[in-house]
Structure 1
Amino acid sequence: MSTFKAALRVVAAHPLYLTIYALVISLMGAFIVLSSSASASSETTEYEPCAAEVAIVDRDGSPLSQAFTRHMGDLYALVDVADEPRELQDAIVTGRADCVFVVPEGFGDELVRAARAGDELPQIEEAYGVSTQASALSGVEAARFSTLAGSAAALDGGAGLEEVAAMALSAAAERADVEVHATPSSGGVAADGVKLYLQFGSYAITSSVIVCVGLVFSAMSRPEVKRRLGAGPQSHAARDAAVFASCLVLTLAVCALSSLVGVVALRDYVAALPALHVALALVANFAFGLVPLSIAYLCTSFGAREEVLNAVGNIFAMVMSFLGGAWIPLSFMGAGVAAAAHFAPTFWTNQAIAAVLDVEALTPATMGSYFTSVGITLLFAVAIAAVGLSVARRRRA
């Protein structure tokens, strides 16, 4: 029991790690879920085009450049900016204009000539402001107008600039009908919120367990500590068992703290789900906690100390949470990344969580998928711990 208490005192001497890695990061995860849910609930079902503010400097003065100014004014708010370098730069830097377009002299004639000769069309010069999305969208619209004007000039070889401008305006005014359809998720808003929190919670559990448990293993493996403990009545196996027991208790405590933060912060979501489903999801999360426990043991088997444990904890937490889909859904990633995610324990943990949260009833097929995913997660922990035991035995020999 004295060895067990001594191991826990090592963690008690570093309260900042538990506070930052376990508590603060878990609170961040809850905040992210609540913020994303609030923004999703405020989304409208009506399509609203981008309301960009653009400035147009017409150095050409042709009917085509005037038609371009008229077209952009119908879509966006036009900002008056003097054709002076300082004024143009000021409009961009201060954000008065999201994008500044400069129609060069001779643009209309050159565009008609290039379109009919099959050459590359001249481009309208543009400068992006601070709002890159609005700037990019307005830039695409400017390029669209130039392409339509070039097509009109090529299709009607005898048309003058005014006729080309009229045809370009008519074609550019054609817009597709847009409707917004909200696609309901398979498990509902509550299930999605809990799943997102547990996905992000893998970062908190991984970083805190690797760092805090690693500190215990590292401290208890120091030569002077081992000599002092060896002078006691406990056998070597009993001391190792006590250290492992303290680390297991610490791992379960970190998982419990992360789960408690999620249950309290997302209590409305949790209350909307069946209690057994939520309990099974949390059990899968506890099973995942054994993976960073094994990683911590493996690191200290190689002799890693506090600085290395901090680096490894953060790197592994970032990689595993990423491959688990916490930052970007796996459906948005390429086939290579999605395939690599199958070699991360977070993928299987999240599969188990989704298996019980996305269904209304726990069928044998659902439970089979759940236990398979949890079992694979535990196999990751066993494999890593086995490597750590092998390394520790070699170093001891």
Structure 2
Amino acid sequence: MQVFKCAMKLVARRPVYFLVYGVWLSLMAVFMASSLMSPASTDEYEKYQVDYAVIDRDSSQVSEGVCEFLTTQGDRIAIEDSDFAIQDAVAKDTCSYLLIIPDGYGEAFMEAAKNAEPLPEMECIYSYYSAEGALVDAALAEYLSSLSAYAAAMPDKPVNELIELAMQASRVYADVQIIPSETDATETDKFMFYLQFDMYVYFAGIIVCVGMMLVTLNRAEVRRRNLASPISYIRYSAQTMLACLVVMMIFWALTYILGAVCFPQSFAAVPLLGKVMMAIVPFVFALIPLSVAFLMGQLHVGETLMNAVGNILGLVLSFLGGSWVPMDIMTPEVNMIAHFLPGYWYTDALSRACQLGSSDYATLAAIGCDIGIMLLFAAAVFGIALVVGRMRTQTSEAGGNAAAEVVAI
């Protein structure tokens, strides 16, 4: 097993690849899968409360009505009426909405409302962190529009009564009923989402780690020395492939065990047969990047290109496979393209396996079909790699008897 030990040592010499593509990306998949879960919905609708501030330089009945209306939008924050205090509040994001009512606003507002003229403006500042301030400003504009309409319709009515009518109108809300979405993620989906994100981990990690090992072993001087050794070519190839398979299984076992540890409740909620299939599906899928790594090794590409191929393929297949964006919201053209890529069949198999029951033979057959398609992808890429490797052994740079015969001719 000298070749196997040598191959594993080559992988161990580059621990940074395993730490980045194996450990770090797997942990990132844990965080992303956790963030995808929608929070549990409450039984009652609660209006969102916003922190706001008002600087009233008018002190009129209209400005007081504005302040009274804003109390329905959230909690008021006290801010001093000075340029420094206002700038400091904006810079520190003390409140989401800051309103400055200028002097004489109330009188100008009532006069403009009764004469059907444009209403005077107030100075408002939104928070740059969110759109909460814009929402409050839209609600305030609706209140002022109601107050203006009442003032135009009843010009002889006292201002305080007009404000009360506008406040009553602002308190009218539509009935809100929370209906659970049929697409809300369940507890079992948490583990499935994690394994879907690991599609990128498999492609980036396995291609780079296995590919760099094979590139080293396929160097002309190393290959000549190995072919001159007493070990047969069949044993040499078998031990090399065993090392590749072990590296692949390390990535597969790491991701699966990490998911089971980080999502224990989700893992426990998956039926027993589902757990088995959710272990088999990633194992079969990992054979595809293993075949790509074998092809990259036969092509003798450099380290930079190896990293580029692993990352680009991982990103493209993860996106088009529905790992990051649900296939339901993609266009029909993208869905059609996704059917020609292995990522689609991987996510489809996982989504079926997470709910698989012991007597659900139809779903089990569908998963078997997905697994068969992924095996065909792996076999196709592996076949191409064998052809490339065979052609390369006949070159003068490869070494060996086949190359020597070509040179002799």
Between 1:305-314 and 1:382-391, the stretch displaced more is 382-391
Who is 2:407 aligned against? none
Give the letter aligned to residue 52 of structure 2: V
Change (3 A) 1:172 1:186: closer
1:128-156, Cα deviation, whole Å (9 max, x unpaired):
33642xxx234213213314533664687
Q: Secondary structure at the match of 1:77?
A: strand
Who is 1:213 aligned against? 210
Are the aligned partners of 2:298 and 2:388 in contact in 1 as well (CA < 8 Å)? yes
Are the aligned partners of 2:29 and 2:194 in contact in 1 as well (CA < 8 Å)? yes
TM-score by length of 1: 0.81
Indicate yes or no: 2:227 matched with 1:230. yes
Are the aligned partners of 1:60 and 1:106 in contact in 2 as well (CA < 8 Å)? yes
Who is 1:367 aligned against? 364
Partners of 1:116 and 1:370 lie apart in 2 by: 73
Indicate yes or no: 2:302 matched with 1:305. yes
Partners of 2:244 and 2:195 lie apart in 1 by: 22
Between 1:142-151 and 1:3-12, the stretch displaced more is 142-151
Are the aligned partners of 2:127 and 2:133 in contact in 1 as well (CA < 8 Å)? no
Indicate yes or no: 2:252 matched with 1:255. yes
Post-superposition offset of 1:77: 0.7
Indicate yes or no: 2:3 matched with 1:6. no
Post-superposition offset of 1:380: 3.0
Indicate yes or no: 2:161 matched with 1:139. no
Partners of 1:115 and 1:298 lie apart in 2 by: 80
Who is 1:90 aligned against? 88
Who is 1:280 aligned against? 277
Post-superposition offset of 1:353: 1.4
Change (3 A) 1:395 1:175: farther
User: Unpaired segments of 5 or more residues in structure 1?
Assistant: none
Between 1:363-372 and 1:276-285, the stretch displaced more is 363-372
Alignment of 1:29-178 (within 5 A): 29-30=29-30, 40=39, 44-58=42-56, 63-103=61-101, 109=108, 125-129=123-127, 131-132=129-130, 136-150=131-145, 153=148, 157-160=152-155, 162=159, 165-178=163-176
Indicate yes or no: 2:385 matched with 1:381. no
Quick check: which has more Rg, 1 or 2? 2
Are the aligned partners of 2:3 and 2:240 in contact in 1 as well (CA < 8 Å)? yes
Give the letter aligned to residue 290 of structure 1: L
Who is 1:15 aligned against? 15
1:68-106, Cα deviation, whole Å (9 max, x unpaired):
321111221111223333211211222321222334667
Are the aligned partners of 1:205 and 1:289 in contact in 2 as well (CA < 8 Å)? yes
User: Unpaired segments of 5 or more residues in structure 2?
Assistant: 396-409
Are the aligned partners of 2:208 and 2:293 in contact in 1 as well (CA < 8 Å)? yes
Partners of 1:214 and 1:206 lie apart in 2 by: 11
**What's the Cα RMSD here?**
3.7
Q: Secondary structure at the match of 2:71?
A: helix
Give the letter aligned to residue 144 of structure 2: A
Q: Secondary structure at the match of 1:289?
A: helix
Partners of 1:381 and 1:111 lie apart in 2 by: 76
Post-superposition offset of 1:210: 1.4
Between 1:328-337 and 1:239-248, the stretch displaced more is 328-337
Partners of 2:272 and 2:84 lie apart in 1 by: 64
Are the aligned partners of 1:60 and 1:104 in contact in 2 as well (CA < 8 Å)? yes
TM-score by length of 2: 0.79
Who is 1:244 aligned against? 241
Indicate yes or no: 2:355 matched with 1:358. yes
Partners of 1:138 and 1:49 lie apart in 2 by: 15
Q: Percent identity?
A: 32
Partners of 2:232 and 2:53 lie apart in 1 by: 81
Partners of 1:65 and 1:343 lie apart in 2 by: 64
